[in-house]
Chain A
């Protein structure tokens, strides 16, 4: 039986992503009905995030596109908590990139940690204005009134006024500069379990993803890019393609890759199947130039190992590591390797664009930030932002990929050329082979065991392509990539080594790179956390005990170690041929630890169970923290055990899911998630669970087989052979 609330939520959510029209609900005698609202009816904008219409309908704005991380609920919860409305009372719409909503990019696990205070202030300010409006009407003091569930009440009386009645007066009042925020113990929504209102629509086919948008009169497009990504178009023969029924245009379009652009071929048809079929019949000649040599993972790693043998650009140093290392007699050195990876979201990149005759443009797309999309569209079309409307739709997964909007520019370019609305969907093969990809990296580790078997000297030299350098030419030859150096810094790992050195060397490559879930943390954690175990074994100390000693200055992190100890003590003795390993890594202001249990089965090793601990400070919904951490276990394991992306002589070797394996049901281990509860500043949730997974597995395999794995991915089927 469906409840009214659920029905309402279903209706609301089915509207997410509805293009070009504000839709709300109108109370009538017979209940709530779905209506299209003219903007005027929603005009009481208390602030950009809170819209209240005269019937009391409250609309909150989600300013961070939802790719599955739960921002629809998270953003509106922050507002609703302080506004004093329940989550069942609200409608949700999405921001369109306008500056009044502030930064609107989902990425860097930034939504809750970035908006924790500011959006609560927006909600609290609106509430204070509504209370003040009521106090004025009743001619009483503000402190004689209080707000609850979308109403203002006069204490000690039965007087009450709805937000709808008060909104018009409230909006005329001065916006309070420092609205009072609730104490965490007063929270009714934040930190509490609640169902996500977008979920019913994701079980019945009504959720509207970017790929689902329908614009009247639209055509469908496929683009075919140079397999060598940067190759130049010499010529093409579309004789067989253009006779496919439904094909309307076969044209050249601009193709952007990190740091440059070239041309691609676009096939435009009146249905997608015709475009797809025709695209396979075009014979294209590309000039791949140097790419046949340079766009090659063997070349990349050869360069990387060579560069790793030379000193890097120093990012941080405490003491003189090289002198310390040279003078010590108990020391070790290892190089850890991580591969290129594809985001491989199940929804391929796609965008719908309409560049209109009147000089305006509209875009509907699954993108991580409507503000960035607005900026790039204005820049691309050379028209003012006021003439552009961006509709940020639900993303069918992204993991960073859809924050790089080359596909959106293609849709815009094609629409501009064919003078019609165009929906562009990259075939899976284009999505997979063009990337961009998580860069492959080496971590060259050196360690010194000092007096009393302490882990005393630490050097981490990261070698690989810099995303920032490749995209924006943002690094000078003597600079370390600061995204990277931040994540491997002493400030981040908090291990108190006597002598500590961090350095970076760039490996320049045409293999396109991009941020991937947890960015460089997914590379760095592999070397860092496996090497801590290696050092501990050399020192003859338990790896968990070694971390405890190193973290003696970091009370908050010690709590995680204590939790790990307690979990180990509480669990039954491991069966023979089972072992476990641990790892921990901080990213996006959140510390996450993983403990993985593995078992030997003939030549194979099976991942039995993954236990994750996450300390993200304050959070919105514990169930979503768990869901994101489960997702990170899955994606982190995939990165550890399944094949990476490789390029051979100018071409990506993996074309589709049969060649790039992502996690499957049968590979998913048992999972157990523990959240550390405290009142610390909110940290990230969408990514931090991922980095500790691979090293916890590497450490577990060592404990099981006494065999140290240095290179990812690990072939679990043969590792014990």
Chain B
């Protein structure tokens, strides 16, 4: 058992956990943030996707002891607020993407990372980047549309600011 000082969504957490405990369970059961989901436990479904310093990570395969000092963890709860949503969340609502919604935290975290890397992704880039995020309800077509919509909105905003 060790103590870890974690920064999750810009909040400090002091967590006592076994060193091999995956971040998924630290985030869900010790930090109490339930938006990050368990699906497979072996980085096969993407439901547990979070960001570490902005990069997407499968938290079910990431031991808490691997988080370095000053690294910032972001979960679905940290990318926007109900008052000020992230463009991806807005697009998800506009396209009415979720059905059951269980995989969508992971989908959105991957989509945010994708758009950070490729602000205007092609369909092929979406296929490659999102291929590890499984959705059993089959919302893929709407996810694709929502990613394009979020990209378009960011473009409009950027243009407007000039």
Measured CB to CB, the residues of A under 8 A from B are: 2, 7, 10, 66-70, 195-196, 198-209, 211-212, 214, 220, 245-246, 271-274, 276-277, 344-348, 394-399, 425, 427-428, 623, 627-628, 630-635, 656-658, 662-666, 668, 670-671
- Selected A-B contacts with CB under 8 Å, 9 pairs: A205-B75, A214-B32, A428-B42, A656-B41, A656-B44, A657-B44, A664-B134, A668-B140, A668-B141
How far in angstroms is the closest Cβ of chain B from A444? 31
Q: Is B99 an interface residue (CB 8 A)?
A: yes
- Ranked nearest first, the 7 interchain pairs of A and B with the lowest CB-CB distance are A205-B35, A634-B138, A396-B102, A202-B101, A68-B100, A68-B99, A668-B140
How far in angstroms is the closest Cβ of chain A from B149? 13
Interchain CB contact (< 8 A) of B47 among A346, A398, A628, A635: A346
Interchain CB contact (< 8 A) of B33 among A66, A200, A205, A208: A205
Tell me whether A276 and B82 are in contact (CB under 8 A): no
Besides the known contacts A200-B93, A220-B29, A665-B127, 11 further A-B residue pairs in the complex with CB atoms under 8 A apart: A67-B100, A68-B100, A69-B99, A202-B98, A203-B92, A203-B98, A209-B102, A630-B138, A631-B99, A631-B139, A632-B138
Q: Is B103 an interface residue (CB 8 A)?
A: yes
In the complex, which residue of chain A has the Cβ closest to the Cβ of B143?
Answer: A665
Residues 96-138 of B at the A interface (beta carbon under 8 Å)? 96-105, 108, 126-128, 130-138
Residues 5-36 of B at the A interface (beta carbon under 8 Å)? 18, 20-22, 25, 28-30, 32-36
Interface size on B, residues (CB 8 A): 64
Tell me whether B37 and A396 are in contact (CB under 8 A): yes
Total cross-chain contacts (CB, 8 A): 190
How far in angstroms is the closest Cβ of chain A from B103? 5
Q: Please, which residues of chain B bring their CB within 8 A of the CB of A628?
A: 99
How far in angstroms is the closest Cβ of chain B from A84? 25
User: Cα distance A195–B93 when bound, in Å?
Assistant: 8
User: Cα distance A273–B29 when bound, in Å?
Assistant: 9
Tell me whether A635 and B100 are in contact (CB under 8 A): no
Q: Please, which residues of chain A bring their CB within 8 A of the CB of B144?
A: 665, 668
Q: Please, which residues of chain A bring their CB within 8 A of the CB of B128?
A: 666
Interface residue SS majority, chain B: loop
Q: Is B68 an interface residue (CB 8 A)?
A: no
Q: A273-B18, A273-B21, A396-B101 are in contact. Are A663 and B138 (CB under 8 A)?
A: yes
Binary interface profile of B, 61-78, with partner A (CB < 8 Å = 1, else 0)?
A: 000000000000001110
Q: Please, which residues of chain B bring their CB within 8 A of the CB of A199?
A: 92-93, 96-98, 101
In the complex, which residue of chain A has the Cβ closest to the Cβ of B34?
Answer: A212
How far in angstroms is the closest Cβ of chain B from A675? 15
In the complex, which residue of chain A has the Cβ closest to the Cβ of B33?
Answer: A205
Tell me whether B138 and A204 are in contact (CB under 8 A): no
Interchain CB contact (< 8 A) of A2 among B41, B82, B136: B82
Tell me whether A623 and B96 are in contact (CB under 8 A): yes
Tell me whether A273 and B25 are in contact (CB under 8 A): yes
User: Cα distance A656–B44 when bound, in Å?
Assistant: 8
In the complex, which residue of chain A has the Cβ closest to the Cβ of B81?
Answer: A204
In the complex, which residue of chain B has the Cβ closest to the Cβ of A690?
Answer: B138
In the complex, which residue of chain B has the Cβ closest to the Cβ of A206?
Answer: B35
How far in angstroms is the closest Cβ of chain A from B15? 11
User: Cα distance A67–B92 when bound, in Å?
Assistant: 18
Tell me whether A658 and B96 are in contact (CB under 8 A): no
User: Cα distance A389–B17 when bound, in Å?
Assistant: 34
Q: Is B89 an interface residue (CB 8 A)?
A: yes
Tell me whether B101 and A394 are in contact (CB under 8 A): yes
Looking at A345, A394, A664, the one whose CB has the most chain B CB atoms below 10 A away is A664
Q: Please, which residues of chain A bring their CB within 8 A of the CB of B102?
A: 209, 345-347, 396-397
Tell me whether B82 and A346 are in contact (CB under 8 A): no
In the complex, which residue of chain B has the Cβ closest to the Cβ of A399?
Answer: B136
Interchain CB contact (< 8 A) of B42 among A202, A656, A665: A656
User: Cα distance A670–B145 when bound, in Å?
Assistant: 11
Interchain CB contact (< 8 A) of B108 among A200, A203, A208, A631: A203
How far in angstroms is the closest Cβ of chain B from A594? 14
Tell me whether B138 and A668 are in contact (CB under 8 A): yes
Tell me whether B75 and A211 are in contact (CB under 8 A): no
How far in angstroms is the closest Cβ of chain A from B23? 10
In the complex, which residue of chain A has the Cβ closest to the Cβ of B138?
Answer: A634
Tell me whether B40 and A657 are in contact (CB under 8 A): yes
Tell me whether A203 and B136 are in contact (CB under 8 A): no
Q: Please, which residues of chain B bring their CB within 8 A of the CB of A345?
A: 100, 102, 136
Looking at A2, A68, A630, A656, the one whose CB has the most chain B CB atoms below 10 A away is A68
Q: Please, which residues of chain A bring their CB within 8 A of the CB of B42?
A: 428, 656, 658
Q: Please, which residues of chain A bring their CB within 8 A of the CB of B97?
A: 199, 203
User: Cα distance A628–B137 when bound, in Å?
Assistant: 8
How far in angstroms is the closest Cβ of chain A from B81? 8
User: Cα distance A276–B104 when bound, in Å?
Assistant: 24
